[in-house]
């Protein structure tokens, strides 16, 4: 989700000491290994599907037992006033790193990631789009994870960030706009002063069948990230035909059982067309293959994976693969 730049610091600060005390009071069993198994990376689920101690990002979200033990973190979420998706405390041991990468799947296309440093040191370096910064404790940053980014902890203590994922809200947009325009001094949220409001958690975070209008927004985003040229135009023509065919089926069936075999047929046709177009080497400006983004943002999520599993023959439907 675009924020207008790789990193954006919001004009709001939080009490680092209170945050640190809450995090340090959590039991050792709260911490889990990083889902990608990066050495020295660990996390505590704070919001997850059903409030379970898992890393999954899809499903009705709820607070975990660990979040309920952290009243000031709950206040921070009330103050930021958004609808919350999967969120975690993220630990990075001394000497550990998260290697440079791009978050390139449907979840990251539809979510913002808010970083609030809890425990850190000056030797923690966060690099995004070639710019390296240190985020002091208590600050509030948003990351556009479609830029190449990495982090390394060269200090002697474990770095901990509170990482909140959200699709956003009107108030969060206003806060971001103030940051982009440098229009407000930092506000400080003292413990016990957040406005009282019920927290909202995602209940829907992936389509059953993706609408053609959503597909068009993903295609426009991918095209914006790719330098123009004959190969990009060829990909866009193939995708335009696909969306037109999908639109015709959508107009007749929308999200319904009779339309599912037709949607699967459209997916098979477009994957075959892309595989045979000779454009598999085209890359976006962040270095990622163009067709990988097409697959991850649109084709792999055009029908919910759980639904695909129960469509006869659909589980074996081809995904895009590079030709040898």
Q: What is the pLDDT of residues 50-97, one digit of tens each?
A: 999 998 889 999 999 999 999 999 999 999 999 999 999 999 999 998
Q: Is the pLDDT of residue 288 over 50?
A: yes
Model confidence, pTM: 0.89
Distance CA 256, CA 227 (A): 38
User: Same domain, yes or no, for 169 and 218?
Assistant: no
Examine the domain organization and report whether 265 and 168 are in the same domain: no
Residue 40 has pLDDT above 90, yes or no: no
- Asked, for residue 250, whether it belongs to a domain, the answer is yes
Same domain as 59, residue 22: yes
Closest CA to 138 of 186, 95, 91: 186
84 with 176, same domain? yes
CATH number at 88 reads: 2.60.120.330
Predicted local distance difference test score (pLDDT) of residue 185:
87
Given a cut of 70, is residue 44 above it in pLDDT?
yes
From 153, 177, 201, the end of a domain falls on 201
Angle 41-46-50 (CA atoms, 0-180°, nearest 5)?
A: 120
Tokens of 14: 């939080």
Task: Place 105 in a pLDDT band, splitting at 50, 70 and 90.
Answer: confident
Alpha carbon of residue 251 to chain centroid: 30
Lowest mean pLDDT among 98-107, 127-136, 154-163, 230-239: 98-107
In a domain, 112, yes or no: yes
Q: Same domain for 17 and 79?
A: yes
Q: Which pLDDT value is given to residue 213?
A: 97
Sign of the alpha-carbon dihedral angle for 70, 74, 79, 83 = positive
DSSP state of 268: H
- Judge contact between 138 and 7, C-beta under 8 A: no
pLDDT at residue 233 greater than cutoff 90: yes
Average pLDDT over residues 250-270: 96
- Whether residue 191 sits in one domain with residue 222: no
Q: Residue 1: what pLDDT? A: 63
User: Stretch 246-267: mean pLDDT, rounded?
Assistant: 96
Q: What percent of the chain has pLDDT over 90?
A: 78
Higher confidence at residue 264 or residue 35? 264
* Domain stop point among 201, 235, 253: 201
- Give the pLDDT of residue 187: 94
Q: Which residues form the domain of 261? A: 212-316
What confidence score (pLDDT) does residue 55 get? 86
- According to the model, what pLDDT value does residue 322 have? 43
- Residues 14-29: what's their mean pLDDT? 96
In angstroms, the CA 234 to CA 231 distance is: 5
Residue 35 has pLDDT above 80, yes or no: no
Residue 141 · residue 162 · CB < 8 Å: no
194 and 223, same domain (yes or no): no
For 184: left if phi > 0, alpha if psi spans -120 to 50, otherwise beta; the answer is beta
- Within a domain: 322: no
**pLDDT of 197 strictly over 80:** yes
Q: Which residues of 243-276 are buried (b: 16+ CB within 10 A; e: fewer)?
A: bebbeebbeeeebeeebbebbbebbeebbebbbe
CA distances from 23 to 96, 97, 125, 165, 243 (A): 20, 21, 21, 18, 47
Q: What pLDDT sits at residue 308? A: 86
pLDDT level of residue 315 (50, 70, 90 thresholds)? low
Whether residues 65 and 178 share a domain: the answer is yes
**214 to 151, 175, 246, 269, 309: CA distances (angstroms):** 32, 26, 12, 19, 22
Mean pLDDT (whole number) for 174-195? 91
Q: Which of 172, 201, 230 is the last residue of a domain?
A: 201
170 and 4 Cβ atoms separated by less than 8 Å: no
User: What angle do helix axes 71-80 and 170-180 make, rounded to 10 degrees?
Assistant: 80
Shared domain check, 99 and 50: yes
pLDDT mean over 153-157: 92
SS3 content of the chain, % helix, strand, coil (to 5): 35, 25, 40
Are 224 and 197 in a shared domain? no
Total domains, the chain: 2
What does the DSSP 8-state code read for residue 28? Answer: G
Q: Please provide the average confidence, as pLDDT, over all residues in the chain.
A: 91
């Amino acid at each position: 989700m675009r924020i207008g730049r790789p990193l954006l610091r919001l004009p709001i600060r939080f009490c680092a000491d209170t945050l640190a005390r809450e995090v340090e009071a959590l039991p050792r069993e709260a911490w889990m290994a990083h889902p990608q198994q990066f050495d020295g990376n660990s996390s505590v689920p704070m919001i997850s599907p059903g409030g379970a101690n898992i890393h999954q990002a899809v499903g009705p979200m709820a607070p975990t037992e660990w979040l309920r033990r952290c009243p000031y973190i709950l206040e921070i979420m009330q103050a930021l006033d958004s609808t919350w998706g999967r969120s975690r405390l993220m630990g990075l041991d001394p000497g550990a790193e998260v290697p440079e990468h791009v978050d390139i799947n449907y979840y990251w296309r539809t979510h913002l990631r808010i970083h609030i440093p809890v425990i850190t040191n000056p030797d923690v370096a966060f690099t995004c789009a070639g710019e390296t910064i240190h985020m002091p404790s208590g600050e509030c940053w948003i990351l556009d994870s479609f830029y190449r980014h990495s982090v390394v902890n060269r200090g002697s203590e474990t770095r901990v960030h509170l990482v909140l994922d959200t699709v956003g809200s009107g108030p969060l947009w206003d806060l971001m706009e103030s940051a982009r325009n440098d229009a407000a001094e930092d506000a400080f949220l003292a413990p016990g002063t957040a406005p009282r409001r019920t927290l909202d958690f995602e209940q829907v975070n992936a389509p059953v069948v993706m609408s053609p209008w959503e597909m068009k927004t993903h295609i426009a985003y991918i095209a914006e990230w790719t330098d123009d040229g004959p190969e990009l135009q060829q990909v866009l023509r193939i995708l335009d035909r696909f969306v037109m065919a999908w639109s015709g089926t959508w107009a007749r069936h929308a999200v319904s059982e009779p339309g599912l075999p037709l949607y699967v047929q459209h997916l098979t046709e477009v994957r075959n067309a892309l595989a045979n177009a000779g454009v598999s080497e085209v890359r976006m400006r962040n270095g990622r293959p163009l067709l990988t983004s097409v697959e991850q943002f649109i084709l792999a999520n055009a029908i919910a994976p759980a639904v695909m599993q129960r469509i006869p023959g659909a589980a074996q439907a081809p995904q895009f693969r590079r030709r040898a």
